[in-house]
Amino acid sequence: MKTIINKFKFCTLILLVAFSCTEIGDDPAFNTSASERSSEAVTEIKATLTEPTEGWIFEYYPHDLQIYGGYNYILSFDDNNMVDVYSERQADFSIPETSSYDILSIGGPVLTFDTYNSVMHEFSTPSAAEYQAKGGDYEFILSHTDVEDVLNARGTVSDNNLKLIKLTESPQSYLTKVKEIVDYLDGAIYALTIDGEKVQVPAVNRNLTFPGSGTEEDIMIAFIYTPTGVKLYNSITVDGNEITEFTLDKDNNQLVSIDGSTILDILSPPLNVNQDWKIDIFGADDVSDAVYNTFVDVYNANGATWGETLSNIISFGNTRAGTGIEMFSIATISTGSGYSAGYNTEFPLLISEPSLLSIVRTTPGTNWQWYGHLDPMIAVIVDNQPYELEGTPAEDPTVVKLTSTTDSDVWFTIRR
């Protein structure tokens, strides 16, 4: 028995010596070492990145759950490890921001933007409020795909599967087309017809929520705008049809899937709530007695609770704290300093009555735990929805009167 063990130890030692004489990662099937192959892969991917004259479209999704949707970047690499970065989020995307890049060999070619670039690092730069930033990446594992002129880029932080697509026109031309689609669809609400019935497909933060089939849960999927419409982060199946991308049909005001199987009607909400609207309670003839009297009650309650003066201006729609209704409690009259308090709401489209504005509560907003005594003001607005609208031209209103369809004594004017 002892002899067998000693022989086993001897054979193991021979194997270890033989292994130590071979570079880790070497494979007899290859004529070069692993390190040489890694170096060749880096050289080859760099040649691929620097080859296009106009650069690459980078379809970028920050955060591992893609909660911010996707954004178009244009990346133009040169041989000196410098890159020009353009983004649809730039106020002026005719001028790129230039910084350095590198390609590392870490189990494969890894593209890293290794010096700060405010455009490229927007979603990955932490702040006091967001110590993990917005879950964005600045390093990406690159690999080829089966499609010519398309590279895979997997985020090392988010693990999102992204795409680099060879650009065949100028960055400015491409991003201008994208912006035209964004502007056309801004604030749009979508409806999908299933079994003859229209069902709303909410669009929030570049995420669409499609209804599930039967007992299946709804499907939320991030999307990115393209020069011709929108593209989904992943293919999904809706009502038995697999869909990935939609083309905008302006003539019929629809988004149509590439194969034509799925059509989203583009509906315009009665009011663009993504604007800075205000209600002036003390404005001449701007509110009904029912709204005014409710405000007086919460004004007095606020004074009794905190000894603060409640501002007569109420934010409505796209407030500083979120989408909803926000009030301001003035602690010091001389300086005008104080505290905002609000309640978040949504404004879902009423498919059966698209001309009416619907308002529903969602969650308490900033400082609401301290200002719950203001709730009657939220209630008089939300509980009397939906509202009929009248005011300046609908294409770009600045003054709109909202009258409750459930209680005509409740009405108020919003201005921006």
List average pLDDT for each run of 10 residues in the chain, which is 416 residues long: 39 40 48 72 95 97 96 98 97 94 93 97 91 94 95 97 98 97 89 88 91 84 98 94 97 96 91 91 96 98 96 89 88 87 90 91 93 98 97 86 98 96
Q: How far apart are CA 403 and CA 386, in angstroms?
A: 8
pLDDT confidence of residue 321: 66
Query: Do the beta carbons of residue 82 and residue 120 sit within 8 Å?
Result: no
Delimiting residues of CATH 2.40.128.640 domain(s) in the chain = 34-173
> Quick one: pLDDT at residue 107?
82
Residues 6+ apart with CB under 8 A from 64: 135, 157, 158, 159, 160
pLDDT for residue 67: 93
Residue 275 pLDDT: 87
- Please tell me the predicted confidence (pLDDT) of residue 196: 85
Query: Which pLDDT score is estimated for 37?
Result: 66
Q: Which two tokens stand for residue 266?
A: 């583009």
- Whether domain 34-173 has CATH 2.170.150.20: no
In 3D space, the residue among 321, 315, 342 whose CA is nearest the CA of residue 414 turns out to be 315
- Across 244-263, b (16+ Cβ under 10 Å) vs e yields ebbebeeeeebbbbeeeebb
| Termini Cα distance of the chain | 93
Q: Which of these, 206, 209, 173, lies nearest to 191 by C-alpha position?
A: 209
pLDDT of residue 318: 78
Alpha helices in 124-246 (DSSP H): 171-185
What is the rounded CA–CA span in Å between residue 268 and residue 250? Answer: 13
